[in-house]
Amino acid sequence: MWLRLRLPVERMKHNPQGITTAMQLHFSGESLRNVAKSLRLIGVNVCHRTVYNWITKYTALMENYLDKITPQVSDTWRADEIFVKVKGNMKYLYALMDDDTRFWIARQAADTKYTADITPLFREGRKVAAKAPHTVITDGAFNFSSAFERTFWRENKALAIQHGRHVRMSGDLNNNKMERFNGEVRDREKIMRSLKKSDSPILSGYQLFHNYIRPHMALNEKTPAEVAGIEIKGQNKWLTQIQNASQGE
């Protein structure tokens, strides 16, 4: 079932084109300072802090609105972790992704790699997808297994969910899709310098960008959201989402 988001009346107080261009540039790989420099070329004179404030405000607005929409994901999910720097300190970003649509279902930041309790990651995944998976593919880290069992113990017995811990670089249970996703995040993390906090709006915004804005070659140039049954109308998908979110306040 396709959900078509219609373009409502304009409610943004600032330059809509400038704001959405800033978000597109930043999440495509430009630093906040370079974004501010680029905006000056189209007559939008702002500093990099203003760009960050726009991202903070409108990411929260979109996230609150899109959280009410359930993506039609498959029954196979993948999970992995990647290290990021928060205030210069090493942290780990755990991500849960649908196997078929590449929809980034949930994320969680943690201090450690092997001992962090990542139950919240799977609980958020259940909430977003409104269901439990049949298969979860991860590496062999014990905390994946324990969190999986704590979250899905009822379904694990009733639905015979498989936890594919022993993944390889090839074969049925390889985690290549997750490795490509990790590379995508690493490319963006380079221009983020150091995140200021674990729940940074930059991470929220990039998750929105991945799911709803950026076409994926592996999905025939569709976004994960489109494959998951959510179609964002209009050429400027940032603007459509912001306006729909504003209307829904």
- The residue range of the domain holding 82 is 76-196
Q: Could you give the maximum distance between any two Cα atoms of the chain, in Å?
A: 60
Arithmetic mean of pLDDT, 157-178: 58
User: Residues 178, 91: one domain?
Assistant: yes
Calculate the CA 120 to chain-centre distance.
Answer: 16
Does residue 201 lie within any of the structural domains? no
Residue 206 lies in a domain: no
Q: Are residues 154 and 119 in the same domain?
A: yes
Residues contacting residue 202 through CB under 8 Å, at least 6 positions apart:
55, 192, 195
156 and 241 share a domain? Answer: no
Q: CA-CA distance, 246 to 107, in Å (whole number)?
A: 25
pTM of the complete model: 0.84
* Residue 212 is assigned to a structural domain of this protein: no
**Residues 14 and 56 both lie in one domain:** yes
CATH number at residue 126: 3.30.420.10
Per-residue tokens: 137: 């593919």
Question: Is 230 a domain residue?
Answer: yes
Cα 23 from chain centroid (whole Å): 14
Q: Does 15 map to a domain?
A: yes
Same domain, 60 and 81: no
| Residues 29-80 pLDDT 10s | 898 999 999 999 989 999 999 999 999 999 999 999 999 999 999 999 988 8
pLDDT at 14 > cutoff 80: no
Average pLDDT over residues 111-129: 91
87 shares a domain with 40: no
Question: 107: which residues sit within 8 A by CB, 6+ positions away?
Answer: 93, 94, 95, 96, 121, 124, 203, 207
Confidence of residue 6 (pLDDT cuts 50, 70, 90): very low
57 and 152 together in one domain: no
Mean pLDDT of the chain: 82
Site of tokens 């906040």: 32
209 occurs within a structural domain? no
For residue 95, pLDDT beyond 70:
yes
Contact call for residues 4 and 225 (beta carbons, < 8 A): no
Do the Cβ atoms of 235 and 55 come closer than 8 Å? no
pLDDT, mean of residues 223-235: 93
Residues 13 and 114 in one domain: no
